[in-house]
Amino acid sequence: MDTLSSILLGLNQAILPVNLFWCFTGALLGTLVGVLPGLGPAATVAILLPFTMGLDPVTALIMLAGIYYGAQYGGSTTAILLNLPGEASSVITAIDGYRMARNGRAGVALATAGIGSFIAGTIATFVLAFFAPALAEVGLMFGPAEYFAVMVLGLLTSVVLARGSLPMALGMVFTGILVGLVGQDVQTAVPRFTLGLEDLSGGVNFVIVAMGMFGIGELVRDLENPENRTVIRTTLASLVPSRRDFRRMAMPILRGTGIGSVLGLLPGSGALLASFASYAVEKRVARPPEGFGNGAIEGVAGPESANNAGAQTSFVPLLTLGLPANAVMALMAGALIMQGIAPGPTLISEHPTIFWGVIASMWIGNAMLLVLNLPLIGLWTSLLTVPFRYLYPAIIIFCAIGTLSLNNAPFDLWLLAGFSLAGYVFSKLECDPAPLIMGMILGPALEENFRRAMSVAKGNPAIFIHRPIAATLLALAVLLLVIMLLPKVNAAREEAFQE
């Protein structure tokens, strides 16, 4: 099946009324959680995971994908109007976006973010459609040693890009792996790490951990922060950029799209790194560069294009190698696993309607987001004045209902409470929960591939050196870790995330 036929197959799936409805719902929810500071796509996806069990797999993934890339759109609204990024990837947008708003150009800044996001998302989806099948074919040549190595590299990359200190991020990954190994041994079915509790014999459901860490734990801390929001108002009439604005934003949008499309393909990077890289490039090529930080439109167009392109192409490692690029992708991998579908190289051949249906829905979703974000600016700005403490009880109720819907087991509520408390403590210690979630999702597969590789090699660990691809990936992982342990590099990394 050629690419064009595959895209048509995906469009036939995407335009089904039920999929259009859930694509719109996901895009709307994504924009909403991107706009509301304190709530994010990881928390929203975690809360909604139990409710996707009643949906068709392709429909569930279309909705969750809409939440993710929709949040990239919505995050720019608070960054520009409030100087408070709704998403981490919008941090860099706030620098010039908020200054443009203070200079009376809030509408132009919002329009620039929306136009750049739409163009980047559309182009990046083409990259996803044409690049992913080729990577999946490469993945089919991977053995257990290669899969173990690529998972190690992915986990270490997530550590490097996590907030907080490097040792804490490493500790979160190992904690996640240990939690993921609770239950029955994958080969012998002997219970392990269950503390003698029969309720843990089936393992810890990652949905409970995700809802506790993102849905409740980290959000509790937002209640501690006093809410003093001064929103800069704008009107629909002020949203139209001038010809000079279009000329200035054209090349930054294209450069940002290219940067985001490439960096999104790398496990662990995604939208955040892409937006920072795009801003650095635009500041370097600007003539003169002094305008950056004072309301340069290029400082909005480039990063917003990059983070949306990175969000789209971050689906590539998940769908082709089964390797989540970030916490949201890890949750989506879990959603597929809950449906009995394993993400990886065989997904395209065994479930083409899922793969191509999700890709085609992204074009439709990006068009929906452009319509949602520009005319509804007044609605989003009004929502920014709603105190977050009014939203929090609803989050607790949804998490509790979602937890009970998994197994109808009261013990799961105790687990939810425990991981919520742990998430709050981790947030106070400035430990990013994303590596823990990724460690938990990848932990069982990491163990299984390691044991399979050792079985093939009859217990000889040299197999990871004798296999060229595995050796190269592990060498890259070690090199990455060594570089990040250098004092100057580590200090620069922590300073970048503090900014």
Q: How far apart are CA 176 and CA 420, in angstroms?
A: 15
- Do residues 472 and 152 touch, judged by C-beta distance below 8 A? no
Domain-wise residue ranges, the chain:
3-145+206-424
Q: How far apart are CA 97 and CA 89, in angstroms?
A: 13
Q: Angle of helix 57-82 relative to helix 106-139, nearest 10 degrees?
A: 150
Q: How far apart are CA 206 and CA 215, in angstroms?
A: 13
Question: What is the pLDDT at residue 20?
Answer: 92
Query: Three-state secondary structure along the chain?
Result: CCHHHHHHHHHHHHCCHHHHHHHHHHHHHHHHHHHCCCCCHHHHHHHHHHHHHHCCHHHHHHHHHHHHHHHHHHHHHHHHHHCCCCCHHHHHHHHHHHHHHHCCCHHHHHHHHHHHHHHHHHHHHHHHHHHHHHHHHHHCCCCHHHHHHHHHHHHHHHHHCCCCCHHHHHHHHHHHHHHHCCEECCCCCCEECCCCCHHHCCCCCHHHHHHHHHHHHHHHHHHHCCCCCCCCCCCHHHHCCCHHHHHHHHHHHHHHHHHHHHHHHCCCCHHHHHHHHHHHHHHHHCCCHHHCCCCCCHHHHHHHHHHHHHHHHCHHHHHHHCCCCCHHHHHHHHHHHHCCCCCCCCHHHHCHHHHHHHHHHHHHHHHHHHHHHCCCHHHHHHHCCCCHHHCHHHHHHHHHHHHHHHHCCHHHHHHHHHHHHHHHHHHHCCCCCHHHHHHHHHHHHHHHHHHHHHHHCCCCCCHHHHCHHHHHHHHHHHHHHHHHHCHHHHHHHHHHHHC
Residues contacting residue 364 through CB under 8 Å, at least 6 positions apart: 14, 15, 20, 23
Question: What is the pLDDT at residue 495?
Answer: 61
Question: What is the pLDDT at residue 382?
Answer: 67
Statement: the pTM of the whole predicted model exceeds 0.85: no
Q: For 184-231, how does the pLDDT look when each residue is reduced to its tens digit (9 = 90+)?
A: 887 777 888 888 888 888 888 877 887 788 767 766 776 766 555 555
Question: What is the pLDDT at residue 163?
Answer: 67
List beta partners, residue 354. Answer: none
Q: Kindly calculate the radius of gyration of the chain based on its CA atoms and give it in whole angstroms.
A: 22
Ranges of residues in the chain whose predicted pLDDT is under 70: 1, 36-40, 83-89, 91, 161-164, 215, 218-219, 222, 224-239, 266-272, 287-291, 293, 374, 377-378, 380-389, 391, 489-490, 492-499
List beta partners, residue 192. Answer: 183
Q: The dihedral of CA 195, 198, 199, 201: what is its sign?
A: positive
Q: Give the length of the chain.
A: 499
> In angstroms, how far is CA 278 from the centroid of its own chain?
18
Rounded to whole angstroms, the maximal C-alpha distance in the chain is 71
Question: What is the pLDDT at residue 371?
Answer: 78
Question: What is the pLDDT at residue 206?
Answer: 75
Pairing state of beta strands 183-184 and 191-192?
antiparallel
